[in-house]
Amino acid sequence: MPENTASTAPNPAPQPKDRKRLRRILLFAVQGTLSVVLASMVLRGLNWQSLAQMAARLSVTFFIGASVISLLTTVIYTMRWQQVLISMGHRSPLSGLARQNFVGVFFNNFAPSMLGQDAAKTYYLGRDMGYVAAGVSVLVDKILGLGGMTVLGAALIILLGLKDPIFTGGLTAALLFSFISGLALLSMRVPMERMIPSFLRRWSLGQRIVDLASRSRANAGSAVTLRSLGAGLLVVTVCMGLTAASYYWFLLEATGSTPSLIQLMCALCLVYTVSNLPVSVNGIGVREQAHALVLAGLGVPLEAALGLSLLQYLFMTLQSLIGWGLWITRPRFQPPTDNKCAPSA
C-alpha cells in the first residue's frame, strides 16, 4: 500500500505578504506594550486626588476656548502643507486639505505616533496628484514641522538661558535634529554626490543614500523653497504660541501659578518633537513622559504636567471624532476619465 505523502509533505513557506503582515502585527504589539509601560511609569507616582482638584477648578470657558485653539492650530498646520503644495505647483483648497488632516488624526489611533495621519494624507491626496508627489509633500511638511520646532526650541533655550539638565540635553538633541533636518532638505535641492566624500559613496550604504536622495530631489526639489521654509517656521511659531497660551491658561486656573509664556513655548517644542517619535501607539506614553520630564524643568508639578498631557489627548480625541465623521461622510472616489459628463438638467 503506497505511503500517504500528503501528510509528510513540508508546510509551504510563508508568502511575502504574510511575513509583512506578521511583522506589522509584532511591531504594533511591541509599540502597544511600550505605550503601556511608559504610561504606567508616569501614572505610578501620580496623586489622583490632586489631579481631580485641579480639574475641578477649570471653567467651562477654558474648555471651550482651549478646544477652539486646538482646532485652529490644526487648520494653521494645514496652511503650511498647502504652501508646500503650492511650491510644487499643486493648488488644493484649504477646506479639502483640512478635511484630510482631520481624517488623518482619526487614523493616528491605529498607528505609531503621527504616521497614521501621514499615510492618510498621502493616500487621499495621491488620488489627485499622484502618490509619489503626495508622499513627498507630506514628507517635506513633516520635516519642516519637526525641523522648525527644534530650531525654535534651541533658539529659546539659548535666549532664556535655561540651565536645567533636561534643557541642556534638549539643546544638544535639538541642534542635532535641526542639522539632520537641514541635511534632508538640502539633499532635495543639491546633488548628494557633492556632499558625500567619494570613499563613502563606494560603500553600499553610501550609494543607497545617494540613490534615495536623487529620487527625492527629482520629486521634491520644487517643494523646498524660501516660501515653504518661511511658512514652516512661521506656522510652528504661531502654533506653539497658541498652544502655550492654552497651557498657560490651564496652569493659571488649576494651580494659580505658571512659568512664562515663552518658557512654555520652549518646553512645548521639545515635548512635541519627542512625541512624534514613532515608538508607541499614537504617542501614548511617550507624550506623558515628555510632559512630565520637560515641564518639571520649569517647576510644573507632576499632576499639572500630566493634566496638560491628558488635556492634549482629550483635544486629539475630539479632532479624531471630527475626522471619523468626515471620513464616513466622504464623497466616494471616482477615477478621472477623459469623457466629461454633461450636467443634468
Please give the pLDDT value at position 196: 59
Please give the pLDDT value at position 172: 87
Sign of CA dihedral 193, 154, 170, 70: negative
pLDDT 10s digits, 75-111: 999 999 998 888 888 888 898 899 999 998 888 776 6
Please give the pLDDT value at position 228: 81
Domain that holds residue 81: 59-328
Contact 267, 257 (CB under 8 A): no
- Reported as a pLDDT band with limits 50, 70 and 90, residue 334 is low
Instruction: Answer yes or no: is pLDDT of 344 > 50.
Output: no
Higher-confidence residue of 3 and 95: namely 95
Nearest-angstrom CA–CA distance, 103 and 120: 7
Contact 321, 103 (CB under 8 A): no
- Reported as a pLDDT band with limits 50, 70 and 90, residue 343 is very low
71, part of any domain: yes
pLDDT 10s digits, 224-264: 778 788 888 899 999 999 999 999 999 999 998 899 999 99
Please give the pLDDT value at position 133: 82
Cell 519627542 found at: 274
186, part of any domain: yes
The pTM assigned to this predicted structure is 0.76
**b/e per residue 333-345 (b: at least 16 CB within 10 A):** eeeeeeeeeeeee
Please give the pLDDT value at position 242: 95
Nearest-angstrom CA–CA distance, 329 and 311: 27
pLDDT 10s digits, 196-233: 556 555 666 556 666 666 666 666 657 777 878 888 88
Higher-confidence residue of 42 and 132: namely 132
Angle at CA of residue 313, ends 92 and 278, nearest 5°:
70
9, part of any domain: no
Burial class of 221 by CB neighbour count within 10 A (0 to 12, 13 to 18, 19+)? middle
43, part of any domain: no
Nearest-angstrom CA–CA distance, 48 and 56: 12
- Reported as a pLDDT band with limits 50, 70 and 90, residue 332 is low
Please give the pLDDT value at position 168: 84
Please give the pLDDT value at position 201: 56
19, part of any domain: no
Contact 293, 66 (CB under 8 A): no
233, part of any domain: yes
Domain count of the chain?
A: 1
336, part of any domain: no
51, part of any domain: no
Please give the pLDDT value at position 84: 87
